[in-house]
A = this chain, B = another copy of it.
Amino acid sequence: MNDLLGELRDQREIEALLARYASALDARDWERLATCFTESAVAEYGGLLGRREGASSIVAACRSVLEPLDASQHLIGTIEIELDGDEARSQCAFQAQHVRRGPEGGANFTVGGHYHDELVRTPSGWRIRKRALIATWHDGNPRVVAPE
């Protein structure tokens, strides 16, 4: 296949992968979330979640923060991708909204920052091998994600 066409396909598949990560979180679809990572993937989440090794530990960490909430929204902006054969690196900005509803209107807690990723082509498509979350700002009520 034409090299350029192959690159455009890889770009598209990686963008779809990073979008899937976000929408799986917000749909609480933990099986779908697991399909974003290699089995031995590492996530450096910092903050509450710290470093997680292995897809199932990463999924469990996300689940522990998001399942108690009433809603979340992970919005990903433009993605920069550097392809290198069967490997790739990417970075993107995100805004993560965490929501608890309540009798007095509830509360939001927003975290913003960047994801830095290492990706690898596998027989099941591109996967995240390493994700670092760099949170650079927050807004709202931090008790939404850390009640006590």
Contacts and interface: CB of A to CB of B under 8 A. Distances in A.
A23 B19 CA distance: 19
Instruction: Give the dominant DSSP class at A's interface.
Output: strand
A67 to B, nearest CB: 15
Contact of A112 (B18, B23, B73, B137): B73
Interface size class of A (residues with CB under 8 A): 35 or more
Contacts of A11: 12
| Copies of this chain present | 3
B19 A112 contact: no
A22 B94 CA distance: 12
A80 B76 CA distance: 12
Interface of A: 1-2, 4-5, 8-9, 11-12, 15-16, 18-20, 22-23, 26, 71-81, 91, 93-95, 97, 99, 108, 112-114, 136-137, 139-140
